[in-house]
Structure 1
Amino acid sequence: MPRLKTVQSKVTKSPRRPFEKERLDQELKLIGTFGLKNKREVWRVKYTLAKVRKAARNALLRRLVKIGVLDETKMKLDYVLGLKVEDFLERRLQTQVFKLGLAKSIHHARILIKQHHIRVRRQVVDVPSFIVRLDSQKHIDFSLQSPYGGGRPGRVKRRTLRKGDGAGDDDEE
């Protein structure tokens, strides 16, 4: 039976400088402490750790750019450490509704959200602390069921319409 070919990825990375006193001593200490067979096993673990760190760094930066807290030109960990509370508070739905002019004040924005008047894309969101992604920001508007969005009119407007219809019927008779 023929042997199947497998794709093998790189598992180790040898050091750039072969003779560094500090690194050689550190590797020798690790070999003795953990009972490793050779330095290639140390290099394999270091390479795996480097891949995990790189993946975590990229995932964090990508996530912060996606929600709009970090700019694409500032995709470095130094900028992440410089983030402030205000950067995250700017991305809340309550703040975005006020900034877009859908509400008269920041407090009015909170009330509109809690009373189901605001939607993001097609989904009605009733959580003021909802973090709005950068691509969803342009899809914030009034709900279709909301009187602000052309839905059923509110209580006062319905009453005035009813009075207007009732008065019109009496005049015709």
Structure 2
Amino acid sequence: MAITRYNQHPDIFLTMTANRNWPEITSALLPHQKPIDRLDLIACVFELKRKCFMKEIEANRVFGNKVAHVFIIEFKKRGLPHIYALLFLKGLDKIWTCAQVDKLVCAEFLDPNDELMFFETIKCCMVHGPCGARNPQAPYMENGKCTERYPRTFVETITMDQDGYLIYRCRNNGQLHIVIGK
């Protein structure tokens, strides 16, 4: 909390979760082993990727001039490490407007013809659901409503709600993507 005395509120809240299907993990498994059998391996690979990711942010100034960061690592229910990081930017790189956020955050499916790897990652790992009428027993359902406020409506531009939370741009481009297992 003391860091906010000097740098105000963080500009970026970033999360990263280990993926048990990372090739560095699956290629190191012995015959008949599953990733869940090697939580030590998952933690090691995650730490290497975390260090590389933070170094990339620092060295290449991915988000601009970073003045400070803090993070915590937790282990989720299935044993996967997960990082919560707060990044503090300085000067002209501080984020003050929705337009600045729009340059950093995308809540839309990318074009599979241009960015197939990112498209598949989003489809596999970042799609919420099903909830609501399709799955009223989902763990994030409460009193017949999704606690994560899904399904969300399409919006043409990024805006901020009355509580100061961002509503990310997610345009209706007419495309429908089938997500297996969702």
TM-score (norm 1): 0.19
By relative contact order (CA 8 Å, sep 6+), the higher-ranking structure is 2
TM-score (norm 2): 0.19
Q: Which has the higher helix share?
A: 1
Which structure has the larger Rg? Answer: 1
